[in-house]
Amino acid sequence: MKYENSLIIVDRDMLMLHGRFRGLGLPTNCIVVDIVRIENGLLAEHWDVIEDEVTREKSASGLPMFGATFPS
């Protein structure tokens, strides 16, 4: 398994991470957004959104979901 991070956004006690998981043994890679809230230096809450990474042919916008290129 490999995780590639693309974006990290922080606003006070909230943190958002956008990344890709590869090598999970699934037919496609997974694009993930994790949102966490930190309280007193500890993880207080966690939410995530997970989607299969789409190919160029299935992309509604014609753009990749992660980075500048589609997966090969």
Over its C-alpha atoms, the chain yields an Rg (Å, rounded) of 14
Sheet with 14-22: list strands edge to edge: 2-11, 14-22, 30-39, 42-52
With a cut of 80, say whether residue 72 has pLDDT above it.
no
With a cut of 80, say whether residue 20 has pLDDT above it.
yes
What totals of helices (H) and strands (E) does the chain contain, helices first?
0, 4
Question: pTM for this one?
Answer: 0.82
CATH topology of domain 2-52: Nuclear Transport Factor 2; Chain: A, (3.10.450)
pLDDT at 41: 94
Which among 47, 66, 45 is positioned nearest to 55, based on CA atoms?
A: 66
Domain ranges of the chain: 2-52
Measured between alpha carbons, how far is 26 from 48 in angstroms, rounded to an integer?
18
With a cut of 90, say whether residue 23 has pLDDT above it.
yes
